[in-house]
Amino acid sequence: MMSDQQIIEGCAKHERKAQQLLYDRYSRFLLGICLRYATDKAEAEDILQESFLKIFFNIEDFSGTGSFIGWLRKVAVNTAITHYHKNLKFRYHVEIEEFVSAETGVSSFEEDFFTADELHKVMNELPAGYRMVFNLYAVEGYKHKEIAEMLGIDTNTSKSQYSRAKAVLRDKLNKLGKLKSSYSSGDK
């Protein structure tokens, strides 16, 4: 079995076998990242394909100082952001002012268990800008200033979109939890 270092060296020489091994080893991981930013699986697969093209053409940019998987993740996230910007004009756009949702106290989901599919569906119901900011901040760990620079928005816009995304998610998860509990109590 080839090590990551051997795969990197092979990919830098454009060896098909090394590229296939890299794809086989990391495509599921990277698809999971792409799914967080895409509206559906087909779009996520497009982002994944673009990511691998960038990885294969720029693998010599990996310096070896950080983790390889971290570098791959960063390429996928940046590709998703680029994809978002390219397709922004084709998406239904909701202005922030039109989509006001007040936070209604603290909600607890301790008793609610949601499947990955349910959580993915709820995330995909967020407006694209909210989902992008939420993923970059809550999942990827970027600061609002970094997100603002990456997306070409104001830092306060990033903060407000994150806050509103949380409120919308909380509301949708509350409704889903109530719906699930009414199903389970109705079966008794």
CATH number of the domain that 168 lies in?
1.10.10.10
Give the residue carrying structure tokens 């720029």.
58
Are residue 38 and residue 114 in the same domain, yes or no? no
Residue 131: is its pLDDT beyond 50?
Answer: yes
If you average pLDDT over every residue of the chain, what do you get? Answer: 82
> Contact, 176 vs 122, CB < 8 A?
yes
- Domain extent at residue 71: 4-90
Q: Are residues 84 and 111 in the same domain?
A: no
**What's the rounded Cα separation, in Å, for the pair 67 and 121?**
31
DSSP codes of every residue in 16-52: HHHHHHHHHHHHHHHHHHHHHHSSSHHHHHHHHHHHH
pLDDT over threshold 80, residue 115: no
Indicate if 157 and 108 belong to the same structural domain: yes
- CATH code assigned at 60: 1.10.1740.10
Based on the structure, what is the number of domains in the chain? 2
Q: Which of 75, 90, 105 is the last residue of a domain?
A: 90
Q: Answer yes or no: do 80 and 125 share one domain.
A: no
Query: pLDDT, tens digit, for every residue of 15-37?
Result: 999 999 999 999 999 999 999 99
Nearest residue to 39 (alpha-carbon basis) of 107, 135, 167, 166:
135
Percentage of the chain modeled with pLDDT above 90: 47
Q: Are 43 and 51 in contact (CB under 8 A)?
A: no
Question: What is the C-alpha separation between 161 and 155, in angstroms, rounded?
Answer: 10
Give the pLDDT confidence score for residue 184 in this predicted structure.
59
Intra-chain end-to-end CA distance of the chain, in Å = 53
Listed residues 55, 90, 125: the one ending a domain: 90
Q: What is the pTM of this model?
A: 0.64
Q: Are residues 76 and 101 in the same domain?
A: no
CA angle, corner 61, sides to 58 and 65, nearest 5? 140
Are 25 and 46 a contacting pair, CB within 8 Å? no
For 52-95, write each residue's pLDDT tens digit: 999 999 999 898 888 999 999 999 999 999 888 887 654 444 43
Give yes or no for residue 145 having a pLDDT over 90: yes
- The closest alpha carbon to 118, from 30, 177, 77, belongs to 177
The domain boundary residue, chosen from 90, 105, 125: 90
